[in-house]
Structure 1
Amino acid sequence: MEEKIQSKITRLKKEKNAIILAHYYQRDEVQELADFIGDSLALSIEASKTDADIIVFCGVKFMAETAKILSPQKKVILPVIDAGCPLADMATAEKVLNMKNEIGDVSIVSYVNTNVDVKMVSDICCTSANAINVVKSLEAKKILFVPDKHLGEYVKQNVADKEIYLFDGYCLVHDSFTRKDIQDLLKIHPEAKVCVHPESPMEVIELADFIGSTAGIINYCIKNNAKEFIIATESGIVFELKRQAPDKTFYTLGSKSICANMKKTTLKDVLNALEREVYEIILTDEQIQKAKKPIERMISIKRQ
């Protein structure tokens, strides 16, 4: 059955000049079939360089929106319409602007994990890989960091000369990680290197041998001489880790490390998206133009 679906998807991709993007946190079988696997911004940038007419984005809504912003002439499809990001949904343009008004003269730095309305009112976006460099690059002394408080706190610890205000948002997966989770795994695997995504609480970050984005964690694990790694991020990353480093062993934080929204997309959903061309991401010209400016400013900042 799965092979039938895979062959149909492959045929339809060719017929419709479509490409499939899959985030590192997607189901293994979806990543296996994708044309590009990566973190959200990298996927959107790669897609913009192709001549594809259709982009099927296997991820969550804000990711598909970013792809549409960078490729406005392409049809961008999100296979599961209710695959949202609770972190992104915590911030709205109204809430962000209210905070800005309360603080006063402040620059808004929004994590790429935000919906289009927040990007539209932001001065610049950032990724988990370049957040520190983005904040350091700004002339403003007051920064409102939106929406992830843990990533914002990590930036705050590394940028001493700015006053950084944090929006009270968090990723449900990373926020659930604790110091004890890491320590319990280290008792069983004392030689393992600890890799932590900066969306995690500071008590977890403090135990890390490496702190970085999904792509950063993968690169670290491939290049490091260690054979065992504790991975404090969503478990879907292990598919790519095993593919690139089959001789190494990776330990996740069990059921805590599963994002329900990222796992919603199945191969059947991908097939349905290609057959029926649903669910298309529709943005106005104004939304695209306003949201594109902070993204383009971000792209010019180097990643760590």
Structure 2
Amino acid sequence: MKLLHYREDGRIKLGISTVHGVVDVEAAEGGASPELASADAALAAGNAALERLRALERRVSEQGPAAFAGALRREADLALEPCMLRPGKLICVGLNYRRHAEETGSPIPSYPILFNKFDNALSAHGRDVRLPDTSSKTDYEAELGIVIGREAFGVSPEEALDYVGGYCNVNDVSARDLQLRTSQWLLGKSLDGFCPIGPYLVTADAVPDPNGLGIRCSVNGELRQNSNTSDMIFDCRTIVSYISRHMTLRPGDLIMTGTPEGVVLGYPEERQVYLKTGDIVTVEIDGLGALTNRFV
């Protein structure tokens, strides 16, 4: 199931992307329901809320678009919002693809390298991302995002994916000169708009193996990153388990699992051309749709 948020009549609404269009959940359900107001709310409410959404998706499939004409929207016409509106935590994993570590000349880490972004960095598919005046080295990073579905603390790797609510595309935009100015990466990672996510939150049942997904990034149509999540040094199970051993993960928390090779930082210095005004970057992961943003 593909969940998304969009803005209509001054409100943010929850939708389900289907072959017939986007189903306006509130309209299709005949009224507002707090637990179905957003993907965040549905995850917090638990399996019962998600089952209501799946049942609605099935009804649309079985009854056809005519039965839901007033509740269907054309996806291309929608102004999308981030697929998670208010993640409690935005946790990033650095240097988590073997070939990316190699291209940057970095040693293979013994433990997951963790850092964070803040919610000011959240952005959505189709939005412009502002290039900061304080940096001349803004880079792209295609990443798989893990969204936690239920509270997790001290979970084992074997059970870790049972706590995942879904997955999404992420562009972990990075201002390299600010990131590497000090030993702490936060400044170059948490500028406004530097974390586009979406367009969808794809529920975990639709992604049976998160470590077998093709992951790609293009700039102005030129393929720059082309890898597979199987190249992760620490796989999704290990990441969720590791973090949960140190802090409680709650529904809606977003974990960004690292980027593969092909970022500008990994090129020889004479070939490094960082993002500039007008560049269009698309992140695409198998089964999760495509996340596109223009840099201005």
**Fold equivalence (TM over 0.5):** no
TM-score range, shorter chain: under 0.3
Q: TM-score, normalised by structure 1?
A: 0.23
Which structure's residues are more often helix, by fraction?
A: 1
Which structure's residues are more often strand, by fraction?
A: 2
Q: TM-score, normalised by structure 2?
A: 0.24
